């Protein structure tokens, strides 16, 4: 039997500034703290990660301006 899992990552300039929102407000269960990334279980086979955009593989990008 194969298990399918999904994970989505969001990059932030300061992950410590948003951890309270994900953990307290949304109630996501922290399953792994890697220092530069925090992984949360949001459903039985679904995970969500926040990454330090200054240290992660990809870099945080500022919001694009329109017009």
Mean pLDDT across 27-56: 91
Express as a percent the part of the chain with pLDDT over 70. Answer: 79
Cα distance between residue 60 and residue 13, in whole Å: 6
The DSSP annotation for 25-59 comes to IS-PEEEEE-SSEEEEEEETTEEEEEEETTTSSS-
Residues 10-40: tens digit of each pLDDT: 999 899 999 999 999 999 999 999 998 999 9
User: Which residue ranges form the domains of the chain, and what is each CATH number?
Assistant: 6-52 (3.30.720)
Query: Tokens in use for 39?
Result: 């992984």
């Amino acid at each position: 039997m194969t298990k399918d899992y999904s994970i989505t990552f969001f990059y932030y300039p300061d992950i410590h500034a948003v951890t309270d929102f994900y953990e307290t407000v949304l109630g996501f269960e922290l399953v792994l703290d890697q220092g530069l990334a925090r992984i949360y279980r949001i459903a039985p086979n679904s995970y969500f990660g926040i990454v330090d955009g200054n240290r992660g593989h990809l870099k945080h990008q500022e919001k694009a301006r329109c017009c």
